[in-house]
Every structure is written in structure tokens, then in C-alpha cells.
Amino acid sequence: MEIFRGRRLWIENKRLVLPNGVERDAVIVHPKGAVAILPVTETGYLLLRQYRYAIGQYIYEAPAGTMEDGEEPAETARRELIEEAGMAAKTFIPRGFIYTTPGFTDEKIWLFEARGLTPSHEYGKDADEVIEVKPVTREKTDAMVQDGTICDAKTICLLHRCREEE
């Protein structure tokens, strides 16, 4: 049974039969698909220092955003990189996907590495986005993850996936 439907997600209460035969009711959140992009520079990465109203603070994170209806993940990555970081990329390398919190949502975020960056102002930031683009060296990102400055799960996963290929 549908509980709520909004522009970016819908929520349902669903009766489930688990693989072990146990029956239970579950509330499941179904967001649209999303992407996260790690813009790679010669010396490191471009991260965002972004205000997130749900937690009431700024965090460091990779550019990311929700897929529009009918949009493929790579298209969303291209659009969101321009909108949030003001950069276009020559190459987008797919780095798989992650499930954010599969205990209550089926949200899937597709991960991309972006290379060959050039400034672009094709789109602007959304009115509710408070963002600063911050260049960060590879070494500094390691320290920022370790000390908790970077605490965003999608960004930590993306840094790890892209680091494997360096």
C-alpha cells in the first residue's frame, strides 16, 4: 500500500515473505536512481562543501544528483557535474553502484569517475543548493576520511573505487 508519493521518492508499506518463510510488514522507501561523480584533477579531486539541511550542517562530498525520468546514469552524471561543480568532463568511467541503506530503501547510486575536466556554465545550481567547490589532494582526502571530515558514505565508496584503478 502506498503511503506517500513525492517528486523524488515514494514510500510503501508492504507485506513480505522472507526467504526463511517469516512474514512481516515493512516500510520501504523507493527514491529515483541517483549518481555520484568523482572529478579527478592532476593533483587530486574536486569535492563539494555543501550544506545539507537534513543534518543541519556542511559536509564534504562528491557531486551527486537524482536521475530524471528516462535519463541514463551517464547522462545524469554529465548534467550533475556541470550543475554542481561547474565542470564538464571528456571521459566518464563507470565505477559500479552502491545501495545506500538496504535495510529500508532500494536506493541505488551509480558511481562515476570524471576525467579531462574543463569549466562549463551550461547549467546553474538549484536554488536550494549551498555549494562551494573545493580542490583536495589525494593525500588530503585520505586524512579527511580518517579523521571524519569526509563522512558521506557515497563519497567514501567512490574514493575507494577510483583509488583501486590508480
**pLDDT for the residue 84:** 93
Q: How far apart are CA 45 and CA 101, in angstroms?
A: 26
Higher local confidence (pLDDT), 107 or 166: 107
Domains annotated on the chain, with CATH: 32-163 (3.90.79.10)
Indicate whether 128 pLDDT > 90: no
Indicate whether 165 pLDDT > 60: no
Q: How far apart are CA 49 and CA 153, in angstroms?
A: 15
Indicate whether 135 pLDDT > 90: yes
